[in-house]
Structure 1
Amino acid sequence: MARLAIALTPAYADWEIGMLTAVARSFLGAEIVTASPDGAPVTSMGGLKVTPDSAYGDLVPTEFDALVIPGGMIWGTAKAPDLVPLATAFRSESKTVAAICAAASALAGTGLLNSVAHTGNALAAHQAYPAYRGEALYRDQPKAVSDHGVITAPGTAPFTFTVEILKALDLWTEEAAAEMAGFGAEFR
């Protein structure tokens, strides 16, 4: 069974991971573990109140297959948690790390996007982080990008973000494709 760690923040963008968590958990049997910076409850942008399973620091990368980081209003502010220890710990164990929207820019700030193809809301948002040097690998496109275990997406791409994560975790089965086909019907 696949295990996904979801790194939540106050005011996280709940819709960016809603499809992933529903399909992975309910249809594919994956285990979802939520964490916040300090383990305290968080409220999403949409007002969903979540009591996380743990704090970021309690996540053990070897016990998971992926780290997923949704966007939200906190990224790019002084209140944003430091993603460097968490993201680099998961990547040092060759675990999938996926970030969408403003979280993709925060991931750029860890330096992890400097050597893989990636995308996000805008190149300029990534360039606001001094550790980012991956401009040549940035893909200005409306769909998620997956490269060597790192998945990024603009905030407008929760569908392809979900698909790329499922593929990376070998969860992209006929059942997953059939379930996701309904969610993507409007894009045909």
Structure 2
Amino acid sequence: MYVYVLNDMAECEIGYILQAFSMEKLLKNGTKEFEVETVACNKKPILTLGGLTIIPDRAISEVDFSNIAALLLPGSSAWGSEDNQEILKKAQECLRNDILVGAICGATLALADYGILDRFKHTSNSLEYLNFFSKNYAGQDLYVCSNSVSDRNLVTANSAGSLEWTKDILKNLNVYSDKKIDAFYNYYSTGDAKYYDELLQ
């Protein structure tokens, strides 16, 4: 699974999904089905919105996008940069090949502007957000007001929906049983330790 990294990315939006995959070895008795790597337009260090410096594992040119489990696109104010257009092309290819694409916050705007959201039920920060900032968006009839929306192999979320987005991604990839996914979601949404115990069972 690849997480696209770009300058000014909101690293908080991918925190829950990274936590879910980091727990996989613990919850599956030492086995790990999914590996997470970062990919970017090149291997130059990127600076996140929170001030972290990330050196990408791979450049786009080094990844076979026909042979990945998922591509995740975090929010960022830098999506309008020409440097990030290539990954949108790859995202479209992934969707055509039934490979999961997850987009959250500003990444949904990038997908809207690229025309991808015209074919999938989706959400974003608001319908007004997409209409105002995207010149090409024509998917208004498919917009759903929700924290996270899953349609076929596309999962979109608003900036407040990272936990729901994580839940939908996990269900799409069959990482855990529905019971464990619900326990993960319930624990991180309530803080009740009984749900953490359910995760470990």
Task: Give the TM interval when normalised to the shorter protein.
Answer: 0.7 to 0.9
Taking the TM superposition and a 5 Å limit, the aligned residue runs for 1:9-28 are: 9-27=6-24
Partner of 1:81: 84
**How far apart, in 2, do the equivalents of 1:144 and 1:80 lie?**
27
Q: Which runs of 5+ in 2 are unaligned?
A: 26-31, 192-201
1:81 is paired with a residue whose SS is helix
Seen in structure 2, the aligned counterparts of structure 1 residues 38 and 158 have a Cα distance that, compared at 3 Å, is: same
**How far apart, in 1, do the equivalents of 2:47 and 2:157 lie?**
22
Q: Which amino acid aligns with 1:117?
A: K
Partner of 2:183: 178
**How far apart, in 2, do the equivalents of 1:78 and 1:167 lie?**
32
**How far apart, in 2, do the equivalents of 1:59 and 1:123 lie?**
33
2:171 is paired with a residue whose SS is helix
The alignment's TM-score, normalised by the length of structure 2, stands at 0.82
Query: How far 1:58 moved relative to its partner?
Result: 2.5
Cα contact 1:61–1:93 (8 A) shared by 2: no
Taking the TM superposition and a 5 Å limit, the aligned residue runs for 1:47-126 are: 47-75=51-79, 77-78=80-81, 81-82=84-85, 83-126=87-130
Q: Which runs of 5+ in 1 are unaligned?
A: none
Query: How far 1:79 moved relative to its partner?
Result: 5.6
Q: Which amino acid aligns with 1:81?
A: N
Between Structure 1 and Structure 2, the one with more helix by share is 2
Q: Which amino acid aligns with 2:19?
A: A
Query: How far 1:89 moved relative to its partner?
Result: 1.9
Q: Deviations over 1:24-48 (max 9, x none)?
A: 1333532101011212221211122
Q: Deviations over 1:94-129 (max 9, x none)?
A: 101110001111011221111211000122332333
Seen in structure 2, the aligned counterparts of structure 1 residues 96 and 158 have a Cα distance that, compared at 3 Å, is: same
Q: Deviations over 1:145-188 (max 9, x none)?
A: 000111110011110010000011012423333233210116xx
**How far apart, in 1, do the equivalents of 2:39 and 2:75 lie?**
14
Q: Deviations over 1:73-102 (max 9, x none)?
A: 213x44661143221121122101110001
The alignment's TM-score, normalised by the length of structure 1, stands at 0.88
Partner of 1:132: 137
**How far apart, in 1, do the equivalents of 2:59 and 2:127 lie?**
30
**How far apart, in 2, do the equivalents of 1:179 and 1:138 lie?**
27
Q: Which amino acid aligns with 1:69?
A: L
**How many corresponding residue pairs?**
182
Cα contact 1:117–1:147 (8 A) shared by 2: yes
